[in-house]
Amino acid sequence: METIGNLITPDPRFERHSGSVARQLLDTEVVPHQPALFLAETVGELTGGANFLERLSPQEWRAVRRKGSAITIDAGKNVFLQGDQHNGIWVMEEGIVRTYYTAPSGRQLTLAYWTAGHFVGGPELFGGGEHVWSADVTQDARLLYLPAAAIRGLIETQPSFALCIIEGLIAKGKCYSALVQMLGTRSVVERLTQLLVILAENYGRRENGRLIIERKLTHDQIASIVGSTRQWVTMTLDRLQKKGIISVARQTIVIERYDLLLAEADGD
């Protein structure tokens, strides 16, 4: 299996805590975030909705936590599946969760990789209906599960929480709108090169005038994001390498000519 990049260096604030430090974090703070990852026209769109609960005061945050259940899910496990009943949302405090759609043919399209500060499980916050996509954990996750009844009660009694939820839903709507626009208006080559631009901007490490991408993604995972196949991704990365735009090894990808990569992403 081809792999690009190394694992992101964990932010020490995301590591598991113990004792009084853990108690303070769980009771009073919304965990800091790393950028989410999804197809978008601009890199700035990736931070939309991050820490959507940050406007809550410490007292309000503790009230929210009391209504929920703290859970941990190991990498490789599902949070929910397409077709499951909507019963609540999961606020992410640590780890990475992927949301994806599975077509009747079995082919998957990755919608996004969500990080701490976001939530998964919408849009039917009050329950009812079925999930129209799935979510699985790609990096061990700590989540706060808020059941539908608790969400309704918090919205009715805590205006600041209601505003947070609205802002979170707006961000999700913009994310999926951006994805639809990319899929509908950009060629698959442009989508792939734009993904490389996003990875370079968010996870690139500068070294000798080059950008080394520090994010681990297999060719299968890249194909699922851009809406293609692993074979096509491998072939196109090889073509970009022959043009001197990137260099690819088994465990890393290096942007050699960022200017030419931007031109490819813009369809020039």
Q: What is the pLDDT of residues 191-201, one digit of tens each?
A: 999 999 999 98
Rounded CA-CA distance 135/77 in Å is: 9
What average pLDDT does the chain have?
86
Mean pLDDT of 44-64: 89
Both structure tokens of 244: 């001197």
**147 and 51: one domain?**
yes
Segment among 98-112, 174-188, 202-216 with least mean pLDDT: 202-216
Is the separation of the CB atoms in 49 and 175 below 8 Å? yes
Question: Which residue did the predictor score with more confidence, 212 or 11?
Answer: 212
Residue numbers of the domain that contains 96: 31-185
Query: What secondary structure letter does DSSP report for 229?
Result: -
| pTM (2 d.p.) | 0.85
**196 and 257: one domain?**
yes
**211 and 170: one domain?**
no
80-116 residue pLDDT tens: 999 999 999 999 999 999 999 999 999 999 999 999 9
Task: Report if residue 131 sits inside a domain.
Answer: yes
Is residue 2 over pLDDT 70? no
**197 and 111: one domain?**
no
| CA dihedral (258, 263, 267, 268) positive or negative | negative
**105 and 202: one domain?**
no
Mean pLDDT of 127-133: 91
